[in-house]
Homo-oligomer: A and B are copies of this chain.
């Protein structure tokens, strides 16, 4: 894709770094980068994830900016760069929430050069060392409130996502935030609290982890995720997350009651019904 000479990544961690690597491969563009964490920026240079550090001059020339900073900074960072970019350049973010970002940017004079994107991709690792060029390969991708983005720029973005082999879909930012609270944010909290609970008991019961198998490892995996990324997500998506957590806690209590009352039949039924997740996730 020869139309890209200069691409800029703001926030060069797992997602930003992986975008840098994937976009270089697809477009052949020179990749500029910025990270508020000086060590990450330096490391991204060392690893060759970015070719040079971005500055006011390179931003004026950039064809695309990917904003991959923590979700509570996305709107602010995007608003600032929207004022600096060329008329045919565009910005997309990769944040795990979309509602508050779209709301803040709603009346921005350059709103139509912004595309609200959530690639459903990630690992439990973070920082530039965690980045790899196939992170997005085969993954789902959500574009929110697409009608607010300029059509030619939206088409260019989708062309890039297709080239990365992503499956792009469209939805309203508010619906996005509700759905993602259940299928992503709640999983992270359940996993973090599982890790916390087991580490607390381990203080008194040494070597408890000797008995941990692959089931525990899988369920607690997300508890390794970065608080820099996730604390802002939990607060920004508070409304839907608190609702999902309420329902989760209610279900846990009901299950505990079934166990306490030796209610084998209901326990069995509940689990059998939940096994249906196997067909859904196929």
Residues of A at under 8 Å CB distance from B? 120-124, 139-140, 142, 169, 175-176, 178-180, 182-184, 186-202, 205, 208-227, 230-232, 234-235, 238, 241-242, 244-249, 251-253, 255-256, 259-260, 262, 264, 267-268, 270-278, 280-281
A14 to chain B, nearest CB (A): 12
A220 to chain B, nearest CB (A): 6
Given contacts A205-B179, A235-B267, A253-B249, contact A140 B275 (CB under 8 A): no
Complex formed: what's the CA distance from A191 to B218 in Å?
10
Which residue from B213, B219, B246, B255 sits with its C-beta under 8 Å from A221? B219
Chain B residues positioned under 8 Å from A267 (CB to CB): 227, 231, 234-235
Which residue from B202, B225, B251, B280 sits with its C-beta under 8 Å from A193? B251
Given contacts A218-B219, A251-B196, contact A245 B235 (CB under 8 A): no
Chain B residues positioned under 8 Å from A234 (CB to CB): 259, 267
Q: 11 other contacts beyond A142-B211, A215-B222, with CB at 8 A cut-off?
A: A120-B213, A121-B214, A182-B197, A183-B216, A184-B215, A187-B216, A190-B190, A195-B274, A196-B274, A218-B222, A223-B274
**Max chain B C-beta neighbours (<10 A), residue from A209, A213, A223, A260:** A213
- B249-A235 in contact (CB<8A): no
- B260-A242 in contact (CB<8A): yes
